[in-house]
């Protein structure tokens, strides 16, 4: 069972508990959330954020890097430290950062650039 699946189950249980549905409903909500597809088990406010634009990995700050899917504070710090010594010449070179493999790179690729301004932002959804 993945961390994400467990987290979804916990969110469902907490929501059921907060609504005063009792432990039986909380358990049922947890099972339903774990067994349902992720997109259907989360309310709209908890869906994955949608991004627009690109991020220049040679000039972005830590906060901007953390907007990228799969990049948290630790990975953002690794990117900043790496680029101090070795500016990125191609976006694929981000895979030189420990923790960014092929799968993560495929998620990041549409949002990466090595030239130009950073235009990455959270889409408004409209």
Q: Are residues 36 and 9 in the same domain?
A: yes
- CATH code of residue 116: 1.10.150.320
Query: What was the pLDDT predicted at 85?
Result: 96
Q: Are residues 67 and 40 in the same domain?
A: no
For residue 36, name the pLDDT band (cuts at 50, 70, 90).
very low
Write down the mean pLDDT value for the chain.
Answer: 79
Expressed as residue numbers, the domain containing 108 is 51-122
Q: What is the mean pLDDT of residues 91-106?
A: 96
Extended strands (E) in the chain: 51-52, 55-56, 112-113, 121-122
Q: Are residues 77 and 111 in the same domain?
A: yes
Alpha carbon distances (Å) from 80 to 31, 67, 75, 88, 94: 41, 14, 9, 11, 11
Query: What was the pLDDT predicted at 49?
Result: 74
Q: How many domains does the chain have?
A: 2
| CA–CA distance, 23 with 12 (Å, rounded to integer) | 12
| CA–CA distance, 62 with 78 (Å, rounded to integer) | 10
């Amino acid at each position: 069972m993945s961390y994400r699946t467990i987290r979804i189950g916990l969110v469902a249980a907490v929501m059921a508990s907060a609504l005063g549905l009792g432990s039986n409903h909380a358990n049922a909500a947890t099972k339903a959330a774990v067994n349902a597809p992720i997109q259907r088990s989360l309310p709209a406010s908890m869906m994955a954020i949608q991004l627009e634009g690109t991020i220049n990995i040679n000039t972005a700050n830590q906060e901007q890097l953390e907007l990228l899917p799969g990049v948290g504070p630790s990975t953002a710090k690794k990117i900043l430290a790496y680029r101090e010594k070795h500016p990125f010449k191609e976006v694929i070179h981000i895979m030189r950062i420990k923790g960014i493999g092929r799968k993560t790179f495929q998620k990041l690729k549409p949002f990466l650039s090595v030239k130009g301004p950073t235009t990455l932002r959270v889409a408004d959804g409209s």
